[in-house]
């Protein structure tokens, strides 16, 4: 949520800042703004809407010569939390004297109190944001040393922030700080960049410094000087970004979502690489960092996450119970923290998160830590807060996920959860034969996904039958129940069709009242021990005039009830969750495309929810 970019160097700042904002636009896209340091003081432009609107404004109002002379600046793309998406609420925000500008990602929880105090001193606020209070506070403390002023202000602040600040009186310097919201500094040759996400840096440098919570950095073209909020120097390593620039570009696809759907044979291959022991029917997950004894002593596994990551955890729940006979449960991360959860040192809490920055999931990690549970992260973004706070865990290696709708992260999460279940099942319920067979099935995942991708055109055709409908149901049983929830989530978030995922057997306990003739009902009817029951549930819908779209196993039993079918290859029912999810991603994608929706940036949403 919200994207921050900063540049301090020797080249013109605007192309770097606007280019960075475009890369970060998936983090928020309701308004944007930019401030440059210039010989005339600070220059600021802000615009409502996408970054392209800001770029138009920059072109119209700042001459090329003016832009070329400005080599320091900060910029922001916003996802509104406090105050509507208006120009006045867009960042960068100013202090009272207009000598300072600040961009912010996160939420200032005590902003009302700060605002009241500042208003009592005569400040007249120009926005409804929480951020403006911080900008004004920095101005209050500024006596010629911007970093000191930022530290003094931040000591008054409660909440989460990643900020970047410039002053008209300190040319060539940007002060940045973080607590709870990501910030990374790119270290180039004679230039430094700042971003809330490395995807904005990769075309400039691979050398990055991830700031830790409580860090404040003074960044110039040639130096990065980090302290904590007590002014004590902090040493941070320079890390190397391992992904390619192509990973954050569309590469010929119409949308990032479609590209990421098609990347899944490779992203799942990366998630599995070196982790499957096909000879012994188990998994090698060194990141779990636990001894065999510790794993055997576990009494329970609790998975926490939000949205799509929560659905992945629900599939994992089935895998842990079925394979490892280990008591498993999944909890929405937002709930876990507030319900005073019963976890202790014999429980493993797995925090599942693509971004590794989701505020609720992070809060759940902290809660579980306080309770003494063993924590692991199942995270995609390397170096993210959850990955670091969890201390151990397994990375997905899916590469950057730019589309707001999560796709390859989900399949990577499920694949890794299957590996974890395989590993934990050793010495528990799973026989060697079943372990060997399942490991072999998991190894086939890239080809199983490819088989679904080859049906893209056929799935697009099925989408045509759904496009006019405003409501849809997705039904599944067992591990396909969470896949049904995920299919419904994908459809609603990108196509704005109201979709409900249900356990197939639950429909008749109430929701079936909503069925009207022709309403699309997508039924996950793959080969599984409960197939007959699922088909029975599909019949119940058909009898009420529904248009049944069945996801069935190629060469498997006919689903005579279906009006249309989408085939997935024959495989183990747990493994089948992944190709089935890919089929539903494509279905949602094509419905949204046919409805003309802004697929990569759905309304009201933003990637990476860093507020609770
Ligand atoms: C849906 C989606 C969200 C995220 C959720 C958690 O397509 O992307 O539901 O899954 O916001 O995000 P992470 O996985 O980054 O913690």
Q: pLDDT for 70-79, tens place per residue?
A: 999 999 999 8
Question: Which range has the worst mean pLDDT, 39-48, 244-253, 276-285, 369-378?
Answer: 244-253
Ligand 1 site-directed mutation target among 609, 610, 611, 612, most atoms within 8 Å of CB = 609
What pLDDT is attached to residue 127?
97
Indicate the SS3 state at residue 572. Answer: coil
Helix intervals (H) in 95-188: 111-120, 131-141, 146-154
Structure letter (DSSP) for residue 245: G
* 355 C-beta closer than 6 A to ligand 1: yes
From the list 27, 52, 171, 16, the residue with the least C-alpha distance to 106 is 27
What pLDDT is attached to residue 426?
77
Indicate the SS3 state at residue 118. Answer: helix
* 610 C-beta closer than 6 A to ligand 1: no
Whether 192 is a known active-site residue: answer no
E runs forming strands in 278-430: 282-283, 300-305, 327-332, 347-353, 374-379, 393-395
First-to-final CA distance of the chain? 12
In the numeric block, the tokens 């994992």 are attached to: 316
**CA–centroid distance, residue 89 to ligand 1 (Å):** 26
Q: How confident is the model at residue 289 (pLDDT cuts 50, 70, 90)?
A: confident
What pLDDT is attached to residue 428?
87
* 361 C-beta closer than 6 A to ligand 1: yes
What pLDDT is attached to residue 545?
95
Q: How confident is the model at residue 226 (pLDDT cuts 50, 70, 90)?
A: very high
Note whether 55 and 32 are within 8 A (CB). no
Quote the crossing angle between the two packed helices 456-466 and 577-594, to the nearest 10°: 60
What pLDDT is attached to residue 33?
98
- Res 152 pLDDT > 80: yes
Note whether 402 and 487 are within 8 A (CB). no
From the list 223, 217, 221, the residue with the least C-alpha distance to 190 is 221
What pLDDT is attached to residue 94?
98
**CA–centroid distance, residue 276 to ligand 1 (Å):** 27
CA–CA–CA angle 311, 253, 496 (5° rounding): 45
Q: How confident is the model at residue 87 (pLDDT cuts 50, 70, 90)?
A: very high
Q: What's the residue count for the chain?
A: 612
* 353 C-beta closer than 6 A to ligand 1: yes
Q: How confident is the model at residue 235 (pLDDT cuts 50, 70, 90)?
A: very high
What pLDDT is attached to residue 559?
74
Note whether 174 and 164 are within 8 A (CB). yes
Mean pLDDT of 519-538: 95
- Res 31 pLDDT > 80: yes
What pLDDT is attached to residue 49?
93
Work out the percent of the chain whose per-residue pLDDT is above 70.
100
- Res 588 pLDDT > 90: yes
Distance CA 489, CA 522 (A): 13
The number of CA neighbours under 13 Å toward the Cβ of 180 is: 23
Question: Which range has the worst mean pLDDT, 64-73, 463-472, 549-558?
Answer: 549-558
Indicate the SS3 state at residue 286. Answer: helix
- Res 414 pLDDT > 90: yes
Please give the helix or strand (H or E) that residue 8 lies within, else none.
strand 3-8
What pLDDT is attached to residue 371?
93
What pLDDT is attached to residue 551?
97
117 Cβ partners below 8 Å, 6+ apart?
none
* Dihedral pair phi/psi, residue 265, rounded to 5°: -55, -40
- Res 575 pLDDT > 90: yes
- What is the pLDDT of the chain when averaged over all its residues? 94
Whether 490 is a known active-site residue: answer no
More confident residue, 426 or 119: 119
Structure letter (DSSP) for residue 273: T
* 413 C-beta closer than 6 A to ligand 1: no
What pLDDT is attached to residue 430?
87
Q: How many CB atoms lie within 10 A of CB 277?
A: 17
What pLDDT is attached to residue 244?
86
Distance CA 215, CA 209 (A): 11
Indicate the SS3 state at residue 238. Answer: coil
Q: How confident is the model at residue 23 (pLDDT cuts 50, 70, 90)?
A: very high
- Res 157 pLDDT > 80: yes
From the list 185, 193, 146, 160, the residue with the least C-alpha distance to 10 is 193
Kindly state the tokens that stand for 93. 């925000």
Distance CA 530, CA 394 (A): 32
Please list the helix, strand and coil fractions of the chain in percent, rounded to the nearest 5, in that order. Answer: 40, 25, 40
- Measuring from atom 16 of ligand 1, which residue has the nearest CA? 353
Mean pLDDT of 149-168: 97
Mean pLDDT of 124-152: 97
- Res 557 pLDDT > 80: no
- Res 245 pLDDT > 90: no
Mean pLDDT of 229-242: 95
What pLDDT is attached to residue 353?
98
Of the residues 2, 541, 571, 597, only one is catalytic, namely 2
Kindly state the tokens that stand for 459. 């799935």
Note whether 494 and 592 are within 8 A (CB). yes
Distance CA 426, CA 419 (A): 11
What pLDDT is attached to residue 485?
98
What pLDDT is attached to residue 172?
98
């Amino acid at each position: 949520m919200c994207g921050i970019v900063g540049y301090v160097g020797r080249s013109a700042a605007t192309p770097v800042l606007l280019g960075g904002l475009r890369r970060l636009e998936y983090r928020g896209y309701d308004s944007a703004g930019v401030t440059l340091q210039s010989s005339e003081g600070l220059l600021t432009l802000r615009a409502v809407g996408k970054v392209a609107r800001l770029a138009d404004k920059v072109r119209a109002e700042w001459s090329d010569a003016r832009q070329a002379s400005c080599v320091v600046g900060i910029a922001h793309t916003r996802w509104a939390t406090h105050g509507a998406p208006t120009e006045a609420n867009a960042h960068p925000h100013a202090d009272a004297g207009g000598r300072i500008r600040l961009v912010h990602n996160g939420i200032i929880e005590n902003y009302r109190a700060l605002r009241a105090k500042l208003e009592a001193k005569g400040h007249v606020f120009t926005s409804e944001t929480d951020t403006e209070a911080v900008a004004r506070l920095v101005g209050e403390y500024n006596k010629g040393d911007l970093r000191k002023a930022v530290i003094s202000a931040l000591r008054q602040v409660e909440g989460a922030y990643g900020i970047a600040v410039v002053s008209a009186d300190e040319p060539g310097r940007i002060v940045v700080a973080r607590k709870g919201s990501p910030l990374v500094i790119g270290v180039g040759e004679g230039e430094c960049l700042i971003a809330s996400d490395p995807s904005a840096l990769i075309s400039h440098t691979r050398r990055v410094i991830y700031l830790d919570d409580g860090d404040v950095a003074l960044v110039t073209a040639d130096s990065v000087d980090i302290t904590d909020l007590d002014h004590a120097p902090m040493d941070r390593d320079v890390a190397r970004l391992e992904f390619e620039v192509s990973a954050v570009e569309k590469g010929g696809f119409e949308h990032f979502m479609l590209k990421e759907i098609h990347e899944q044979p490779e992203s799942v291959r990366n998630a599995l690489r070196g982790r499957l022991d096909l000879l012994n029917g188990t998994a090698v997950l060194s990141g779990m960092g636990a001894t065999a004894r510790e794993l055997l002593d576990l009494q329970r596994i609790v998975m926490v996450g939000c949205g799509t990551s929560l659905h992945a955890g629900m599939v994992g729940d089935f895998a842990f119970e079925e394979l490892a006979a280990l008591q498993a449960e999944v909890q929405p991360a937002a709930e876990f923290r507030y319900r005073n959860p019963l976890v202790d040192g014999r429980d493993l809490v797995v925090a599942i998160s693509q971004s590794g920055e989701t505020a609720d999931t992070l809060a759940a990690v902290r809660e579980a830590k306080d309770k003494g549970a063993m924590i692991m992260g199942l995270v995609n973004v390397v170096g993210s807060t959850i990955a670091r706070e969890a201390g151990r865990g397994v990375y997905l290696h899916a590469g950057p996920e730019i589309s707001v709708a999560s796709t390859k992260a989900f399949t990577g999460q499920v694949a890794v959860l299957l590996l974890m279940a395989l590993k934990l099942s050793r010495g528990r319920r799973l026989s060697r034969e079943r372990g060997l067979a399942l490991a072999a099935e998991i190894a086939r995942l890239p080809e199983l996904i490819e088989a679904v991708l080859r049906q893209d055109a056929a799935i697009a055709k099925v989408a045509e039958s759904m496009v006019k409908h405003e409501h849809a149901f997705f039904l599944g049983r067992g591990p396909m129940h969470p896949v049904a929830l995920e299919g419904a989530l994908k459809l609603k978030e990108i196509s704005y069709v109201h979709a409900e995922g249900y356990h197939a057997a639950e429909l008749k306990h109430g929701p079936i009242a909503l069925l009207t003739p022709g309403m699309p009902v997508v039924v996950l009817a793959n080969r599984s021990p409960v197939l007959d029951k699922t088909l029975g549930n599909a019949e119940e819908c058909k009898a009420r005039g529904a248009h049944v779209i069945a996801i069935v196993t190629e060469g498997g039993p006919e689903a005579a009830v279906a009006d249309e079918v989408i085939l997935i290859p024959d495989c183990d029912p747990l493994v089948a969750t992944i190709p089935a999810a890919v089929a539903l991603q494509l279905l949602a994608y094509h419905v949204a495309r046919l409805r003309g929706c802004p697929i990569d940036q759905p309304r009201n949403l933003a990637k990476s929810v860093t507020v609770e």
